[in-house]
Structure 1
Amino acid sequence: MAIQLRPLIAILLFGAALTAAAPSPKCRCGPAEPCWPPEPAWNALNASIDGNLVAVRPFASVCHDPTYDLDACQIAKRMSNESLWLSANPGAVQSANWASLPQRNETCYIDTHKSLPCGQGRISLYSAVVRKTEQIQAAVRFAKKHNVRLAIKNTGHCFLGRSVAPDSLQILTHHLKEIAFVDDFRPTGSLNKSCGSAVTIGAGVQLKELYTALGKKNLTAVIGASHTVGAAGGYIQGGGHSPLGTWKGMAADNALEFEVVTAKGDLVTANSFQNPDLFFALRGGGGGSWGVVTRVTIRTFPDPPTAIQSLTISSVNSTAFWAFIEAFHVGLPSINDAGGSGYYFITPSLNVSTLSIALFFAGHQNGTIMASVLDPLINLANETFSPSSVVALRFQAPGFRHVIDQLLPGDSDTTGNIVRIGSRLVSHKFLSSRPGAAKLTSALQNISTHFPSAAMTGHVVSGGQVARNSNLGVAVNPAWRRTVTHLVSGVSWPATAAVEEQREKERGVTEVMVPMLAGLEPDMGAYLNEADAYERDFQKSFWGGNYGRLREIKRRWDPESVFIVRAGVGSEEWDAEGRCRLW
């Protein structure tokens, strides 16, 4: 059955004409150009993927004229912050700003007035809503043949907008939900070498789904803490930090095998025995740059007993609050050395500032070690703040799955907001002395002054086994092996903000916020999945000394740059949207 192309093309022609780039072999084809695939070509692609090609509009288009639909709009508004619903929708991403394209003045926000035009923005024109590997292969070959920009959407959980691209063909992997356990995994080509207990997951499996399946078998795996994230997508390919990282390393460290559709449309296996260069790149070289991963096999472990400590303090005294933040960072290396991992949230305010900490000690049968490193901090909190301002809870969980039930309550995350973030990795060495903690605290305080609404999140997800895996031979930024905390902050703006206000906020992240953190340790870097989308010198920041090798692997496996994403390997040769080569 032919898909209906003409109404979509009519909507897009004007916006496409504004791109100003004339047809050129240096550029991807756009819908206003003669090289754009004609309707019969799109219909042939649709037939080749069993009718799973859909024409895409931003999900909020039903709330805007001339396509306003009251019933559909009410549903879209009700679901606009539900991460699982957004994951499955080809016309949605988890951070609403990445659906927009300010350069064309194309926005389509759910809450703006219905009379405002709904622009296509960065949302793909078509989506191959794939359900099997052969459909992915057909879509990749079509994009390569017709020089059409590709975008891979797993869940749309990407703070750098890598799962969208203007005038593109999307491959949506959401429906690839395979989960298969094996007690004795033997990689292809390994001559029966055993890697032990493992699970193979399809590209569309999301973290909560995997945790649920693992829990039924009293197992766990090194994966993250979000409903929204797809375990086999950019998460693991970007390195994948985890609350279990201190115990067992990063997600990429625990990947055993990938199946991936390459730029030629071939399905290949990548592991330590077959295509080891591609295996290296897929373990930390960044999602969307190497191919479309169809499945990945990762190690599993018996679900460990876990000791847990939470601490929340609130203060109206800014001086006391920031002094406690410094004291916490002074003690953080010792907490991490004792096996502690987890998260903390700093929310400064002119009224009441708060610090919330949740720490986990996986594999600990009791809280003795945890108490030895945390009791001094809790005592300091009780001495500094009033009793009503300090809440400390400590308990023992029989398995990590009980922690996940607390971290991931319900069935969905609250997303769909507008946010731009910046981040930095902070080393164990830097925080092991009071001057380091004092300098970091000063930087955080300065950020709170320049960006009054910006909260800060610390991820204590390294140290321990992450550090011990420094010679494992993966593409993960070597700075992770020295890291004690991964700090993230961000800014947001209302959907009604003028373009210049948006750009001012974005410039603030790149030109003010990130330099404040980066100046502390110029030789560290940032986590490529949670960083400034326009990180300066991203090659060094995201991959350190691994970038040269990754660039060579990219040339070998994808010489025509079929797969290009923002701030990904090889993207320096392309414009910001991956449409035209710069040289």
Structure 2
Amino acid sequence: MRPFFFLTGALLALPGTIFGASGRGHCRCTPEKPCWPSTTKWRALNDSIDGNLLSLKPVGYVCHNPTYDEEACSNLMKMNDNSLWKSGEPGAVLSPNWEIWPERNESCFAESPRNAPCGQGRIPIYSTIVRTPFHIQRAVRFADKHNLRLVIRNTGHDYLGRSAAPESLQIFTHHMKDMDFTDDFVPDGKKDGKGVGEAVTIGAGVQLAELYRAANKLGKTQVIGLAVSVGAAGGYIQGGGHSPLGPWKGSSIDHVLEYKLVTAKGKLVTANEYQNQDLFWALRGGGGGTFGVVYSVTLRTFKDPPTVFSALNITTGGTAGESYWNAVEKFHSYLPSISDAGGSGYYYIIPDLDFEGQKVSVVAGIFYFVGRDDKESVDKVFEPILSDIESLPGVYVPYDSFQAPSSFATFQLDGEAADEAAGGADPSILGSRLYSEKLLRSKNGPGRLAKAISQLDYSDGTIAIGHLVAGGQVSKNRHVDAALNPSWRDALTHIAVSRKWTLSSGPAGLRQVQKKVTNEDVPILAAVEPHMGAYVNEADVNEPQFQRTFWGSNYPRLLRIKRKWDPEGLFFVKSGVGSEGWDEQGLCRR
């Protein structure tokens, strides 16, 4: 999901235990139990991974008694909102709500009073700072042998909290930064030895901005997202990976040529079209942290084409009224036209915004026309849109556009300024739904969608974020056999609601906001098109029927593959494949 900025100019919910017929116990081993590894065993693990085992504390502990450190706390407060800095800290996560362990009322926020208790929360107890596949093997085998809760963390940029868990061992892949570009990649196991075209092979720790910059030096690009701190090879692409380049070339998973990973038994495995095809299928959309520890991904690359960038603000004064919501309806009715012209992008629905002492209601949109070098024809696409929306009383629609020599030139990822602007996520809970092209092309569909969006509660600063990242080639690639939610092939837009909560409200406040998202927001959004589901990486982690919502008809096959490759359920993420067999934290079997 793009960070917000304001523009001014047979579905199975199987009962009982799914995994673990070996009799190793109902619950995983935790520190208070005799089975917890001794200091000697932890030292042995450390030695086996070249001294890369780290005892973790939440990053905020330096701001609390009795470990208060004035200089360290001051430095932390300066960096704590920077997502790139957080991504490199194994004791941090991007969304602070996932630091809390609500059941035990444990948290350790830097912003809390100095004398407030500092608990471990959901920050793992140990981290293996892995730098090679061999390190990953050692960590996985250690966790399997001692029945530990295992967490895979690349950057911590995870809205569903899958890269943190209480009383766990972390595998931190952030430092695996290798990138290898080739003009003709040959997948392992391809018998004729012939290449399949240009590609890049990246280590698990490579972040989106790093990959874009490296590819740009070669005049290339690839289908990935835009949030600079996201890890390209982690949960992003394993969950499906939407992209502003998607309508041009298809989903990110459509262009994965090969995964290399460590399985639950600590084996090195290659998954592609020529070997371990079932695992290759599952990793393309089945979700991160579920089937193994991916340490390398190979993606197709393309010559970076010219791109037209457009931006508009639909604005009304005062609180959101009839004109504003009519504008939201009209805007959605024109999304198919923008898509037909090759457009993709993001838009922010912000009713009742306090801006420079005034109340305004805004829809701020940014759009990319990848592969277009004709700015004038793109402007013509927007002429009827602007004219129609501006005919509404009290509605103003400033618009601008420019021609760029490449898509990279429009993404604002080309310097330190982008790094410095990589703000951390506000404490918030997401809910979302996909909406079909058919709905938005129908006579009443845009109105039904706008009405649903208007029924959400915006009194606390909540916004709705639209992602025009489907349609086009994403839809045309429906022949690609992968685990991606089939609804993506019918979708045109993905809308997420981001509802804030305050750190000072603690676990009780967090639970209250979570209930509002799960019990009020998501049902409103889902009622428009109940069959469409949601995007697994940007959704409500408490979806009651996550199997159907995140994977549709693909879930039974995914579960069979999960059982084959991870029969004991070593890899767990909440609302992930097979997670129905475990409690909320993945510590005890249901």
Give TM-score scaled by structure 1 length.
0.93
* Consecutive unaligned residues in structure 1, runs of 5 or more: 1-22
Measured after TM superposition, the shift of residue 229 of structure 1 is 0.4
Matched, 1:459 2:467: yes
Measured after TM superposition, the shift of residue 335 of structure 1 is 1.4
In structure 2, what is the equivalent of residue 570 of structure 1?
A: 578
Q: How does 1:212-227 map to 2 (within 5 A)?
A: 212-227=213-228
Letter in 2 for 1:170: Q
In structure 1, what is the equivalent of residue 206 of structure 2?
A: 205
Distance 1:360 1:385 in 2: 29
Distance 1:421 1:405 in 2: 25
**Contact 2:238/2:288, CA 8 A, preserved across alignment:** yes
Q: Is the partner of 2:314 in helix, strand or coil?
A: strand
In structure 2, what is the equivalent of residue 314 of structure 1?
A: 315
Distance 1:499 1:122 in 2: 12
Cα distance per residue 1:223-279 (max 9 Å; x no partner): 001111000000000000000000001111110001000001011100000100000
Q: How does 1:473-552 map to 2 (within 5 A)?
A: 473-552=481-560
Matched, 1:364 2:396: no
Higher mean alpha-carbon deviation, 504-513 vs 439-448, is at 439-448
**Contact 1:349/1:452, CA 8 A, preserved across alignment:** no
Q: Is the partner of 1:375 in helix, strand or coil?
A: helix
Measured after TM superposition, the shift of residue 368 of structure 1 is 4.9
**Contact 2:306/2:370, CA 8 A, preserved across alignment:** yes
Matched, 1:124 2:93: no
Cα distance per residue 1:351-389 (max 9 Å; x no partner): 2111111111111121354234321112234444669x4
Q: 1:221 to 1:297 in 2, by over 3 A?
A: same
Q: Is the partner of 2:549 in helix, strand or coil?
A: helix
Q: Is the partner of 1:123 in helix, strand or coil?
A: coil
**Contact 1:348/1:448, CA 8 A, preserved across alignment:** no
Given the alignment, which residue of 335, 340, 353 partners 2:338? 335
Distance 1:90 1:394 in 2: 40
Distance 1:359 1:189 in 2: 40
In structure 1, what is the equivalent of residue 170 of structure 2?
A: 170
Distance 2:455 2:99 in 1: 31
Distance 1:128 1:161 in 2: 19
Distance 1:204 1:83 in 2: 15
Distance 1:177 1:24 in 2: 36
Matched, 1:109 2:109: yes
Measured after TM superposition, the shift of residue 221 of structure 1 is 0.3
Distance 2:526 2:552 in 1: 14
In structure 1, what is the equivalent of residue 404 of structure 2?
A: 397
Higher mean alpha-carbon deviation, 496-505 vs 73-82, is at 496-505
In structure 2, what is the equivalent of residue 555 of structure 1?
A: 563
Measured after TM superposition, the shift of residue 417 of structure 1 is 2.7
In structure 2, what is the equivalent of residue 438 of structure 1?
A: 447
Distance 2:401 2:106 in 1: 50
In structure 1, what is the equivalent of residue 434 of structure 2?
A: 425
In structure 2, what is the equivalent of residue 16 of structure 1?
A: none
Higher mean alpha-carbon deviation, 395-404 vs 365-374, is at 365-374
Moved over 3 A (4+): 381-387, 406-409
Q: Is the partner of 2:184 in helix, strand or coil?
A: coil
Measured after TM superposition, the shift of residue 307 of structure 1 is 1.5
Q: Is the partner of 2:242 in helix, strand or coil?
A: coil
Cα distance per residue 1:462-521 (max 9 Å; x no partner): 101100111110110000000010000121211110433321111000000000011111
Q: 1:109 to 1:380 in 2, by over 3 A?
A: same
**Contact 2:351/2:463, CA 8 A, preserved across alignment:** yes
**Contact 1:80/1:416, CA 8 A, preserved across alignment:** no
Letter in 2 for 1:429: K
In structure 2, what is the equivalent of residue 62 of structure 1?
A: 62
Q: How does 1:32-111 map to 2 (within 5 A)?
A: 32-111=32-111
Distance 1:307 1:316 in 2: 30
Letter in 2 for 1:179: M
Higher mean alpha-carbon deviation, 184-193 vs 572-581, is at 184-193
Q: 1:278 to 1:24 in 2, by over 3 A?
A: closer
Q: Is the partner of 1:370 in helix, strand or coil?
A: helix
Measured after TM superposition, the shift of residue 407 of structure 1 is 9.6
Letter in 2 for 1:329: H
Measured after TM superposition, the shift of residue 406 of structure 1 is 6.4
Q: Is the partner of 2:54 in helix, strand or coil?
A: strand
Q: 1:253 to 1:188 in 2, by over 3 A?
A: same
User: Percent of aligned pairs with the same residue?
Assistant: 50
Measured after TM superposition, the shift of residue 338 of structure 1 is 2.1
Distance 1:148 1:369 in 2: 58
Distance 1:261 1:411 in 2: 31
Cα distance per residue 1:95-143 (max 9 Å; x no partner): 0010111110101111110100111010000000111111111000000
Q: Is the partner of 2:503 in helix, strand or coil?
A: coil
Cα distance per residue 1:434-467 (max 9 Å; x no partner): 3111111111111145x54211110000101100
**Contact 1:566/1:577, CA 8 A, preserved across alignment:** yes
**Contact 1:222/1:248, CA 8 A, preserved across alignment:** yes
In structure 1, what is the equivalent of residue 159 of structure 2?
A: 159
In structure 2, what is the equivalent of residue 278 of structure 1?
A: 279
Cα distance per residue 1:290-309 (max 9 Å; x no partner): 11111100000000111221
Measured after TM superposition, the shift of residue 66 of structure 1 is 1.0
Cα distance per residue 1:170-225 (max 9 Å; x no partner): 01011000010000011011122422010000000000000000100000000001
**Contact 1:151/1:164, CA 8 A, preserved across alignment:** yes
**Contact 2:467/2:494, CA 8 A, preserved across alignment:** yes
Distance 1:44 1:527 in 2: 41
Letter in 1 for 2:269: V
Q: Is the partner of 2:234 in helix, strand or coil?
A: helix
In structure 2, what is the equivalent of residue 256 of structure 1?
A: 257
Q: Is the partner of 2:339 in helix, strand or coil?
A: helix
Matched, 1:378 2:386: yes
CA RMSD of aligned residues (A): 1.6
* Consecutive unaligned residues in structure 2, runs of 5 or more: 1-22, 354-358
Give the helix-richer structure, 1 or 2.
1
Matched, 1:267 2:268: yes
Distance 1:458 1:434 in 2: 20
Q: Is the partner of 1:232 in helix, strand or coil?
A: coil
Measured after TM superposition, the shift of residue 428 of structure 1 is 0.5
Give TM-score scaled by structure 2 length.
0.92
Q: Is the partner of 1:348 in helix, strand or coil?
A: strand
Q: 1:377 to 1:91 in 2, by over 3 A?
A: same
Higher RCO structure (Cα 8 Å, ≥6 apart): 2
**Contact 2:213/2:414, CA 8 A, preserved across alignment:** no
Distance 2:519 2:55 in 1: 38
Matched, 1:346 2:349: yes
**Contact 1:261/1:291, CA 8 A, preserved across alignment:** yes
Q: 1:57 to 1:112 in 2, by over 3 A?
A: same
In structure 2, what is the equivalent of residue 415 of structure 1?
A: 424
